[in-house]
Amino acid sequence: MAARLRAASDSFHKSDMASYQLCDNPGMSAEPTDARSGSASTAAQLRRATAASFVGTTIEWYDFFLFGLVTATVFDRLFFPRLNPTAGTLASLAAFAVAFVARPLGGVLFGHIGDRIGRKATLILTLLIMGVGTSVIGLLPTYSAIGIWAPVLLVIARLVQGLSAGGELGGAILIAVEPAPAKRRGYYGSWPTQGVNAGLALASAAYLLVVHLTGNSLLSWGWRIPFLASAVLLLVGLYVRLRVLETPEFREIRESGQRAGVPIAVVLRHHKRALLIGMGALTAGTIPFYIATVFTLSYGPKQLGMSPQMILAGTVVAALVGVPLIPLLGALSDRLGRIRVLKAGAVYMALIAFPFFWLFETGDPVLVGLALVLVVAVGSAVTFGVLTSFLAELFDAPVRYSGIALSYQLNGVLTSAPAPFVAAGLYAWANGSWPVAVYMIAGSLVALVALVAAGRRPAGPGEHR
């Protein structure tokens, strides 16, 4: 497979070289071109890279989030019907968490491919794997049809999703950040995060269309429709990503022979501090985000008597509100510095932990929506919207893909994966939400420690404090 990928990458590289020669060296083109048209072409390529980052990430995370939404509402009855309701919910959330176990492996595998073969080829491969894995979930037989093999196959398909997600976001960040002007990397780097929010909104909206089905329709066939729709989205994502060029920084690395032999080994040997800082800085955003988007879909209906439709509608609104907020915070980090904005974001996430539950537990649709906006919209903007460029600046270019991917995915195993499960366990233990709020605050404190450590380390190449 590596040989085929390398051949494909070389093919992409030749076409990219021709395109970039026209953009960056107008005198080499067949037709006379002035500097202004060369600049316009370069700007067009940057817009294309940004669009590929946004659209592809939207589709990837539509697939990934959709599993979490369905997990919290019907998978316990479809794949774990022999368990009591509480155990079935925990088993479903554990199946959701399985993907996060595969994500570090995906981060190592696709980080290696991205640092050795190219950003573009890797992003196309991750999109294909995610699209196929999600479509397969829509075709799976349930426990009533094949017994224990149903949850086994579900877990395998979820592992495939996790493998793809492990390599997706790092590449999406780099395809947007590496071609960007140094003083605007915060803004351009925020576009993959916009794609994450857009993917959440799209997944929530798609499931909202079928979750209202009455009788046995949702359990028998309705839940499958959003998964099968992924096949159509896959075609759109491939079209967009096939048109993007390889990043200039990776072309320079390849041409100069500076590619790392085993990028992950270099990260673990020479970038351990940066890796720990990246993992810690993510914690303020990951724990609250997965509590708000996954845990609440089980907690709200089962403990508070809310309708899943109301929570899904609130999630759609919150995710959409976050899309325009994210680039604003990314641009603000270009002016004020990444660490300053991220510290403020960690403090904000700690301060809203208890108010989030106070608002959510009222059951009022407007206040529930406001609670979700505080975490999913504003919280994503002040954390994830800035973390993309922050992580890209933590690592040297030859190992940047591997460094970003491993930071995200190791953090995912430690925080994102267990967050809904831990929240459910804490609620069951205390018969109340207060320990879940404390759990969210603890994540913010970890992030603040990491950001303080980041402020004391020497600045990396191109790093914007």
In a domain, 183, yes or no: yes
In a domain, 81, yes or no: yes
Distances (CA, A) of 262 to 83, 97, 116, 123, 398: 45, 28, 8, 19, 10
In a domain, 37, yes or no: no
- Asked if pLDDT for residue 96 goes beyond 80, the answer is no
Confidence of residue 151 (pLDDT cuts 50, 70, 90): confident
Give residue for tokens 């398909």.
Answer: 157
Question: Could you tell me the two tokens for 39?
Answer: 């600049």
Give residue for tokens 């990260």.
Answer: 267
More confident residue, 42 or 98: 98
Rounded Cα distance between 99 and 60, Å, is 13
Residue-range definition of the domain harbouring residue 176: 46-456
Which pLDDT score is estimated for 325? 93
Which pLDDT score is estimated for 326? 94
| 4 close to 238: Cβ distance less than 8 angstroms | no
- Asked if pLDDT for residue 219 goes beyond 60, the answer is yes
Phi, psi at 19, each rounded to 5°: -70, -45
Angle between helices 365-372 and 353-360 (to 10 degrees): 160
Which pLDDT score is estimated for 39? 58
In a domain, 10, yes or no: no
Which pLDDT score is estimated for 296? 92
Arithmetic mean of pLDDT, 136-162: 89
Task: Quote the percentage of the chain above a pLDDT of 70.
Answer: 89
Question: Could you tell me the two tokens for 108?
Answer: 């190592």
- Asked if pLDDT for residue 20 goes beyond 50, the answer is no
Q: Which range among 80-84, 121-125, 354-358 shows the weakest confidence by mean pLDDT?
A: 80-84
Arithmetic mean of pLDDT, 436-461: 85
Rounded Cα distance between 225 and 130, Å, is 16
Rounded Cα distance between 449 and 443, Å, is 10
In a domain, 74, yes or no: yes
Question: Could you tell me the two tokens for 247?
Answer: 């990043």
| 107 close to 408: Cβ distance less than 8 angstroms | yes
Domain CATH number, residue 63: 1.20.1250.20
Q: What is the rounded end-to-end Cα distance, in angstroms, of the chain?
A: 40
How many structural domains comprise the chain?
1
Arithmetic mean of pLDDT, 294-318: 89
Most confident of 1-5, 275-279, 414-418: 275-279
Which pLDDT score is estimated for 40? 57
Q: Which range among 112-126, 211-225, 260-274 shows the weakest confidence by mean pLDDT?
A: 211-225
In a domain, 16, yes or no: no
| Average pLDDT along the chain | 84
In a domain, 284, yes or no: yes
Q: How far is CA 124 from the centre of its chain?
A: 16
Q: What is the pLDDT of residues 223-269, one digit of tens each?
A: 999 999 988 888 888 888 888 888 888 888 888 888 888 999 999 99
Q: What is the pLDDT of residues 351-404, one digit of tens each?
A: 999 999 999 999 999 999 999 999 999 999 999 989 999 999 999 989 999 999
In a domain, 15, yes or no: no
